[in-house]
Amino acid sequence: MSVNLQVSNLTVTYGAIAAVRGVSFSAAAGEIVTIVGANGAGKTTVLNALCGLRTIGGGAIVLDGEDITALPPHERVRRGISQVPEGRRLFGRMTVAENLEIGGYTRSDRAEKRHDLDHVLELFPRLKERYRQLAGTLSGGEQQMVAMGRALMARPRFLLLDEPTMGLAPQIVDLVLESIKRVNREGVTILLVEQNAYRALEIADRAFVLESGEISLTGPGDVLLNHPQVRSAYLGFDG
């Protein structure tokens, strides 16, 4: 499998504080890669650096052989990177339809956009029912579907997901994770940050643990799922 993304010695600082220190990892085309870590470990900072929302202090980000370290966010979207941010960050006073339309703002291919919109509505049938409803009036699970659909409207090759199941009911968690697996099966590389470490590692091809801004463990998802340190610190098991 060819390498889709290569991150080398990524460093991000907030004033005198280094939030991310020398982080290096890769994601091959078609993989699901999960980042596990406690609150404040630097997970969201890594995602924001990858999509250009956080200035980095050092290191390099290479996508499909192109160094995109200095590119602004909208150019990274054009290169195929989309993010579903923590907290969804929808336009609450706009409809589901309008939020989805915004997701494809960099695109001019109307017929293909219409095809992708139909695909999003097929992936999340609830959104078809809520299509003309204001996004701010939806349930948490429905809002997460809109956030994912909006990101998919950019036709990404690389999708960043930040806490997609946070605050959702168990049955909605299942639906969201199944949709992530389906999008991945369709060829989209996934980088997943998820507090529900057990469920995230279950679907991960590879994963790494971020502690205080540094990678402390890395390996296949199923291996980390059974690693004593991960089980004790993040999965609630002793040993």
Alpha-carbon dihedral sign for residues 187, 189, 195, 197: positive
Average pLDDT estimate for 107-129: 91
Q: What is the DSSP string of the chain?
A: --EEEEEEEEEEEETTEEEEEEEEEEEETT-EEEEE--TTSSHHHHHHHHTTSS--SEEEEEETTEE-TT--HHHHHHHTEEEE-TT----TTSBHHHHHHHHTTT---HHHHHHHHHHHHHH-HHHHHTTTSBGGGS-HHHHHHHHHHHHHTT--SEEEEESTTTT--HHHHHHHHHHHHHHHHTT-EEEEE-S-HHHHHHH-SEEEEEETTEEEEEEEHHHHHT-HHHHHHTSS---
List, for residues 70-81, the tens digit of each pLDDT value. 999 999 999 999
Could you give the domains of the chain?
1-80+156-239 (3.40.50.300), 89-155 (no CATH)
- Confidence (pTM): 0.91
Q: What pLDDT score does 239 carry?
A: 47
Mean pLDDT within 75-88: 90
Cα–Cα distance between 152 and 34 in angstroms, integer? Answer: 19
CA-CA distance, 27 to 50, in Å (whole number)? Answer: 12
- The confidence band for 3, taking pLDDT boundaries of 50, 70 and 90, is low
Amino acid at 116: D
Average pLDDT along the chain: 92
In this predicted structure, what is the pLDDT of residue 2? Answer: 59
Question: Between 91 and 45, where is the model more confident?
Answer: 45
For the segment 141-159, what is each residue's pLDDT rounded down to a tens digit?
999 999 999 999 999 999 9
- 138 alpha-carbon distance from chain centroid: 21
**179-218: per-residue pLDDT in tens?**
999 999 999 999 999 888 999 999 999 999 999 999 999 9
Q: What is the mean pLDDT of residues 130-139?
A: 94
Q: What is the pLDDT of residue 129?
A: 95
Weakest mean pLDDT among 21-25, 30-34, 100-104: 100-104
Distance, CA of 35 to CA of 235 (rounded, Å): 14
